[in-house]
Amino acid sequence: MASLQDQLRGLVYSTEHGDICPGCRQPQDDCRCAELAEQERIAALDGIVRIRRETSGRKGKGVTTVSGLPLSKAELKTLAKSLKKRCGTGGSVSDDGVIEIQGDHREPLKAELERQGYTVKLAGG
C-alpha cells in the first residue's frame, strides 16, 4: 500500500484530507511549515540584539528598529507591546521579526532590553 506522502503527491485538495500544503504535501491540519520557518529564523540569529534609527521609506519620519531577538512571533508581539508602553508611543512588529517603535528611543530601549538580559548593540547612526 502506498504511503500518505505518495498518495498526496501533486494534489492540491483531497476530499478525504481537505487542502494540501504545497510545501510539505501534508494536509493543512498537519502542516508544520510555518513552525519550521520560525525555528530556522531563530537559529540563524547570533544572539546580539541590534537597535537602530531608520528613516528610509518613511517620508523622513524616524523609527527605532529592534532586530535579532530570538523570540517567536507571539513573544515578539508581547515584548513590542511592553516596549511601546515604556516609550509612550506606537509601533509594530514586521513579518521578518523586527520591532519598529515610532520616534528615536534608542537609549531607553537599550536600557530596558539589557535589564531583561539581552546583549544589545546600537547599530547605525
Q: How far apart are CA 113 and CA 69, in angstroms?
A: 10
**Each residue's pLDDT tens digit, 26-55:** 888 888 888 887 777 777 777 789 999 988
Element (H, E) at 48: strand 48-54
Grid coordinates standing for 10? 501533486
pLDDT by residue, tens only, the chain of 125 residues: 455 555 545 555 656 677 778 777 788 888 888 888 777 777 777 778 999 998 877 777 889 999 988 888 889 999 999 999 999 999 999 888 899 999 999 999 999 999 999 899 998 75
Fold type of domain 44-122: Translation Initiation Factor Eif1 (3.30.780)
Taking the domains of the chain in order of start, what are their residue ranges? 4-31, 44-122
Q: What is the pLDDT of residue 11?
A: 57
Question: Rounded to whole angstroms, how far apart are CA atoms 52 and 100?
Answer: 10
DSSP secondary structure, 74-103, as one string: HHHHHHHHHHHHHHTS-EEE-TTS-EEEES
